[in-house]
Homo-oligomer: A and B are copies of this chain.
């Protein structure tokens, strides 16, 4: 497994691979790898000649109030996981090589970036779209792997690929969960014991939603109220949003229909968790 730190070096390497007609699968991560990431790597491994995992905690997608500094950085464990998973290249850049002095170009999707998580995280999706476009260009990826857990991120990137005619195929892989249903996230390590127990309610609320819909409930307001009531039973849980939206536009829908996204963000102490299901 090769570790490459300089963007220009990876770009030159990727160019050689492409000239030899090799396909490249990219798994962009911020490290702190868990089984969710490994499922992405596993799919990338099956579908490409070369697999590149990037590990970069992107400062431009954190606001000043957020957890950039304390975000977990278990690098040697991450590298070991990549090695075992058959990764060919780990891209491990420094922030100053990704954003050199004078950097000033951004990819912005103002309409869908201001909804859901964008309401409380201004600038977040601009930071995400910008780094992802850069990674696509550096690695010349044919396929790029993202988790459905970050549903809005997947929608933003899908829209960006389509709008900007990017020559890359997006592969959004299913959410990987703990046995009790909590979606895997690098931020789960922030939870204390009580918060960790209570956090299961996110998945329970989504399961309740699916059950109610299966039994004929179509009124969004009534559905979301039932989910809110369930979550409110847990004192450590503070709802940021619960919403049902169109999967393309991310705009709220009044009546539940097939293909809609039910998404939520809930804070447990300072830790903000997200989860979702597609109906």
Contacts and interface: CB of A to CB of B under 8 A. Distances in A.
A130 B165 CA distance: 11
Interface stretch (A105-113, A237-245, A265-273): A105-113
A232 B214 CA distance: 76
Contact of A104 (B105, B163, B166): B163
B164 A105 contact: yes
A138 interface: yes
Nearest to A126: B108
A223 B107 CA distance: 38
A163 B103 contact: yes
Given A107-B107, A108-B108, A166-B137, A102 B249 contact: yes
Nearest to A113: B104
Interface in A107-164: 107-112, 129-130, 133-134, 137-138, 140, 159-160, 163-164
B165 A138 contact: yes
A253 to B, nearest CB: 16
A105 B129 contact: yes
A92 interface: no
A253 B84 CA distance: 55
Nearest to A138: B165
Contacts of A159: 102, 104-105
B248 A102 contact: yes
Contacts of A166: 137
Contacts of A108: 105-108
23 contacts: A7-B165, A11-B165, A11-B167, A15-B167, A19-B21, A102-B249, A103-B163, A104-B109, A104-B111, A104-B112, A104-B159, A104-B163, A105-B108, A105-B109, A105-B163, A105-B164, A106-B110, A107-B164, A133-B164, A134-B163, A134-B165, A137-B167, A138-B165
9 nearest A-B residue pairs (beta carbon): A105-B163, A137-B165, A104-B111, A138-B165, A105-B160, A105-B109, A106-B108, A134-B165, A108-B108
